Chain A
Amino acid sequence: MDIQFIDPVPEVLEEVKSTTGKGVEFIQKDDLPTYAALKMARKNMPSHLIYYKKEHDEIINHLIVHECGHLFRIFKCPENQRLVPYSNDQIKYNALKKIENEIQALTKILSEDQIAQIINLWYSGLIRQVTNLPPDIMIEKWIYDRFPALRPLQLKSLNNQLNDSVAGLNETVRRMTPHTILHASNVTNYAFFRILGFHIGQNFIKRYSSSHYVVKGKELASITEKKYTDSHEGDNIMIDKWAAFVNISEWFKWRGFEDVPPDYGNKSAVNNSK
């Protein structure tokens, strides 16, 4: 199914071209772990790539504008000051080693094979969350303020995201997830939805009200509101603050935007790395 663009998506895509010097190519990919994913063009790539699933609804329009928001933020920063987070096997090993006891404790309820299967999801999922949510806050605020026509789709999309996020409050998930990961995930989700809820006039956080993540989540939201500089540089500083706040500073490092592996531009590989 081709994407049926609604206003203001064509206008935003034009703006991407004029701001970044490259257009967006849309690629259908049904095994995506998310609703849509973006690969930002590096120097040797002719265009930015947005992956989407064949089965989608009109929410895709909000997601496309959201991904374009990431492009605007990073391309407005001078080229030699653009940074992106990354991880590798060594960083992952060091990070997981620190929570070895928490992982070990789970062997009472999960087999080692099951843990081995799920461990990458925990690790990459949390890194994706902590390195995306801070700029996502600024992008969603920008969408709400600049594109009133998108507000209904934005609300639907955020509610979908909220439904996924509150699954982290579930007793089964709690029992089967290492404490560091569960805590970091719920605290950052709370901060994200608290800030956005206030901005767009929605109470996203009522389902968190009886959880013990509220105190730390409020604290993180307050730091974020007070200290955020609205730029790519500000995003990265805030990502570092979030990572430090939930104790996962060593889980990823930074590298230059262009310092990606040579096969990064390969269209068939999507690893959620922007």
Chain B
Amino acid sequence: MKDINYALMLIKAKKLDGAKDLLEELLQSDPQDKDILYNLGMCYTELDKPERAVETLSECVRCYPNYSNAYVALGFAHSRLADYKKAKEYFLRALEIDPVNSYALRNLGGIYGNENDYEKAIECFEKSFSINQEDQQAAYGLGYTYFHIGKLDEADKYFKITIDLDEATKIASLAKDLRREIAGIVLKSKGFRTDAMFYCLSAQQFFKDKTIDEVRQVAFEIGLKGQQGLDINNPTKKYTLNTMKGSFTGLQLVSYMYVGFKIIDPNLDIGVDLSEEYKEALRLFEQEGPHGYTIH
């Protein structure tokens, strides 16, 4: 005997193809079952079959016109078809039935974001996130929208929440990338960074007698640390490495990584622009005499 609970287990384990096959089989014996129709529609959307999702979820809302989540799923399938007008209609319909449906709010926030209506987008995402504080996508939506309107502190806060909710997801890695971008923007907004220039200079001195392999080890270790998020705008936060003795600020490590990668491959873009600071450091480094260097 086939069991819908097993289909739900497959969905949770991200075995959507198997779940879809099982739900299709179950649907044959029970063509109007609410849960089968809803979950099968969701599987079709995730398996990039939005037309079939629309068909299945339309049947679901036809049979169960007050099923708020099915309207959300139907709206989502339409957004996969790039039919944002219909998607919006269905998210709004879901909210008429259930004004606190956090998924409808989150998805509607996404639609408003696409329409560049950031105020409404933030309103929807915030309401959604206040209802369901475990929803990583709502947190990311908030971060992303704040990022777009230039409220970088708020954006960074929500990207951090996104990562803390589950670091292993794709969305968390997108949030990490954007946090790095924010850190770079904040760093450069302060103009030429003398502190970064001196770190670049120390890095050049440190790497001077190292082999390319040793440079690579340090640069890659910092790069890996950077994946977890280095706070380059907080001089009180310190980090340690296996490949270098001592404790370092985020900016110090990024400067070392910048110089390291310049040695390994001068054309590599590491995502943080320290080109001016590096250039100046290089000039000083080349001028360095036996008794040290002079700043002009």
A237 touches B6 (CB 8 A): yes
How many of chain B's residues have a CB under 8 angstroms from any CB in A? 17
- Given contacts A236-B9, A237-B9, whether A256 and B15 have CB atoms under 8 Å apart is yes
Q: How far is the CA of A83 from the CA of B18 in the complex (A)?
A: 10
Interface size class of A (residues with CB under 8 A): 10 to 19
- Given contacts A233-B2, A233-B6, whether A254 and B13 have CB atoms under 8 Å apart is yes
Let me know if A120 is at the binding interface, CB within 8 A: no
Let me know if A140 is at the binding interface, CB within 8 A: no
A80 touches B6 (CB 8 A): no
Let me know if B1 is at the binding interface, CB within 8 A: yes
A80 touches B18 (CB 8 A): yes
CB distance from A273 to the nearest CB of B (A): 15
Among B22-51, those with CB < 8 Å from A are: 22
Residues of B within 8 A of A267 (CB): none
Among A120-147, those with CB < 8 Å from B are: none
Q: Majority SS of interface residues in chain B?
A: helix
Among the listed B5, B14, B21, which residue makes an inter-chain contact with A81, where contact means beta carbons less than 8 Å apart?
Answer: B21
Let me know if B3 is at the binding interface, CB within 8 A: yes
Q: How far is the CA of A256 from the CA of B16 in the complex (A)?
A: 10
User: Taking CB as reference atom, which chain A residue is nearest B19?
Assistant: A81
Among A63-120, those with CB < 8 Å from B are: 78, 80-83, 90
User: Taking CB as reference atom, which chain B residue is nearest A240?
Assistant: B9
Q: How far is the CA of A80 from the CA of B20 in the complex (A)?
A: 10
Q: How far is the CA of A82 from the CA of B6 in the complex (A)?
A: 10
B13 touches A78 (CB 8 A): no
Residues of A within 8 A of B182 (CB): none
B13 touches A253 (CB 8 A): yes
Residues of A within 8 A of B13 (CB): 83, 253-256
**Residue ranges of B at the interface with A (Cβ–Cβ < 8 Å):** 1-3, 5-6, 9-10, 12-15, 17-19, 21-22, 168
**Residue ranges of A at the interface with B (Cβ–Cβ < 8 Å):** 78, 80-83, 90, 229, 233-234, 236-237, 240, 253-256
